[in-house]
Structure 1
Amino acid sequence: MKRVVVTGLGVVSAVGNDVAGFWNNIVEGNSPAKAITRFNPEKFKTQFATQIIDLDPKLYLDRNDIKRSDLYTQYALIAAKQAIDDSGFDINTMSPFDVGVIFGTAQGGMETFEQQYKEYAASGFEPHFNPFFIPKTLVNMASGVISIKFGLMGVNFSTASACASANTAIMDAANYIRWGQAKIIITGGSDAPISEASIGGYNSLKALSTRNDAPTKASRPFDVERDGFVMGEGAGVLVLEEYEHAKARGAHIYAEVAGSAMTSDAYHITATHPEGKGAIEGMKRALHDAGLNAADIDYVNAHATSTPVGDISESKAIKAVFEDNADLHISATKSITGHLLGAAGAVEAIVAIKAITEGIVPPTINTETIDPEIPKGLNIVIKEAINKKINAALSNTFGFGGHNGIVIFKKI
């Protein structure tokens, strides 16, 4: 079976709109959480998020790109351009059918849907819909527009497994290359969920932190006083490439996609399995797919959203799989980025890859007192990053509906 490597990275987020800036803020533990400005949040229980405020799409996209695409697609396009430029492959020297796009999202064009319905209601329910309404809201549109924009004619589809969507896309992309169906695939995830409907909906689920007086301190994974996650937005993109193809063209290789797996909790529509059964099996299967043992993993980027139930179940699962690995270090970088929903796995894959290439385990910020229900003996990196040689890193993502997506990267 063919080997798969990462040759390009791109990111758009409140933490940074390029990989260098993003990584620096991750290592420094700089949270960008602040009051929402996209709409007036004063009526909502949660009034803050990690909102992108310093990105002007007009500097990156032409007028038609912006007119015809939702914000989530715009984020995907900008991050994809970064990753493609970083990878340096030239589509003009290849068959376009050898380059594909597999991309994830949890909500798709939620902002467009919300705005269009408001206009419909304000008109007295006269059916005058924008002709781009349907294309802008579709969950497959980011993958479609990326392929159109860059002339990529290979495999093309989108994954939707809630907050595991990006990891699902990454593992699908890796497998299509393994099977010889593509030489290169652009993959990752994007979401733009900072809208009234999203904030209101997640508030009703009691999933969001309500620390309006201290937004940068709100996301506190594993902490005894955690009260929910911080909503985020953006996109992460990886260029995956068949190893021999990358080597032949002299590409810079960040890491290898060593293995992956998906399982289901089959338990609850929003809650993870309390004992982490699906997560345990998913991590074990990812290790098997990678040909690695638990002792070979140096770093786990935890899904850890800062919710009361989820952090406990994941920590139990990590303990069950890696109990004998005393050298394993764990961090929860959603404490910095917020939770980017369908983009979370992609930006956290970039964190895992950079941790390997830079030899740094980023911190979990804001965690003061570990919840006593978190298993003892886990090396959770708190407050400050540490230097550590990392040969292999595992990234967890879990989504509503019981979706578990795990990807392992290793040094090459």
Structure 2
Amino acid sequence: DMERFGVASASGIGGLPNIEKNSVVCATRGPRRISPFFIPSSLVNMLGGFISIYQGLKGPNLSSVTACAAGTHAIGEAAKSIMVGTADKMLVVGAESAICEVGIGGFAAMKALSTRNDDPQTASRPFDTDRDGFVMGEGAAALVLESYDDAVARGARIYGELIGFGESGDANHITTPTMDGPLRAMKGAYKMAGEPKVDYVNAHGTSTPINDKNETAALKELFGGKDNCPPVSSIKGQLGHCLGAAGAIEAVVCLMAMRDGVLPPTINYTTPDENCDLDYVPNISRKADINITMSNSFGFGGTNGVVIFKKI
């Protein structure tokens, strides 16, 4: 029943390159030369709109626009739609394509980006003492959420069960993260999941000085100290920071980690930071028995989301 099949899309910035392009057209050729597709193609929720149209999905059409936590929030909102009965299935899609002059220039002006321009391969170095900012990435990921019974009935390959979702707001600063906000989101997801033994944490791990330190401290608080923390890694050294798509992409990474029994590494980790003292799976992946994974996403505006998956 396509009326019971919805979509939850996520993007942090949406059609930024299109906004840049049409702003130039407006400035150089006048407003009458702006494309009639400018507004529709710039709307962040048009991601879900196009998917709904192309796939014929007539259920809830939701859009999370919560900066770098958008992909994770979309997963949580999709699950809520199923839990409250407004949908039987939800397609979650996170996508971002914001690498353009305005995008790079804007983040650079905020001093959020790494300045290792002469060595881009090692510029993103989460939890390393020499980290100095993130590297922008682009990408997308999609997941289908449905009840276990529905998945079995249609013979679907089940990659995992969503057992926990937490969300919170920092109420602190437009860009500077806190430890308390992310910790409350982690606690919410952890409590919903039944406080299980977590085997792997996909960290937000942006390679920024403040985030990585705060996230480490929050994880130690959540699990009761350094010695009780599971392996933690950030894949942003490999993929860059995909902004609003990151949560969806990293949820897929968690599911693949459980499927394959592999801990993805934190690459470019060469010089430990005394404030970041966990097992970050440095540089080389490891085989492991992974049954429960947690994925963290935190965004500008002090918005936080955490999901926990269980292997089926």
TM over 0.5: same fold?
yes
Q: How does 1:73-152 map to 2 (within 5 A)?
A: 95-123=1-29, 125-152=30-57
Query: Which amino acid counterpart does residue 209 of structure 1 have in structure 2?
Result: S
1:269 aligns to what SS in structure 2?
coil
| CA–CA distance in structure 2, aligned partners of residues 103 and 362 of structure 1 | 26
1:287 aligned to 2:193? no
Match of 2:107 in 1: 202
Deviation at 1:199, TM superposition (A): 0.3
Q: What is the match of residue 202 of structure 2?
A: 301
Range 392-401 or range 364-373, more displaced: 364-373
Structure 2 residue runs without a partner (length 5+): none
Q: Partner of 2:81: helix, strand, or coil?
A: helix
Report matched runs for 1:13-412 at 5 Å: 95-123=1-29, 125-273=30-178, 276-293=179-196, 296-323=197-224, 326=228, 328-374=230-276, 376=277, 378-412=278-312
Tell me which amino acid in the other structure corresponds to 1:114: E
Letter in 2 for 1:239: V
Q: Distance in 2 between matches of 1:292 and 1:182?
A: 28
**C-alpha separation between the residues in 2 aligned to 1:225 and 1:379?**
17
Cα shift at 1:180: 2.1
Aligned-pair CA distance for 1:128: 2.2
Q: State the SS of the aligned residue for 2:146.
A: strand
Contact 1:167–1:188 (CA under 8 A) maintained in structure 2: no
Q: Offset at 1:197? A: 0.4
Moved over 2 A (4+): 125-128, 323-327
In structure 2, the CA distance between the partners of 1:404 and 1:327, relative to structure 1 (3 Å rule), is: closer
CA distance in 2, matches of 1:176, 1:240: 10
1:188 and 1:345 in contact (8 A); partners too: no
Q: 2:272 and 2:203 mapped to 1: Cα distance? A: 15
Aligned length: 311
User: Contact 2:10/2:74 (CA < 8 Å) preserved in 1?
Assistant: yes
Could you tell me how far apart the structure 2 residues matched to 1:282 and 1:106 are? 19
TM-score by length of 2: 0.97
Cα displacement (A) at 1:327: 6.2
Name the % identity: 47
- 1:243: how far off? 1.0
Query: What are the ranges of 5 or more consecutive residues in structure 1 without an aligned counterpart?
Result: 1-94
TM-score, normalisation: structure 1: 0.74
Per the TM alignment, residue 373 of structure 1 is displaced from its structure 2 partner at its CA by: 2.1
Alpha-carbon separation, structure 1, partners of 2:187 and 2:71: 20
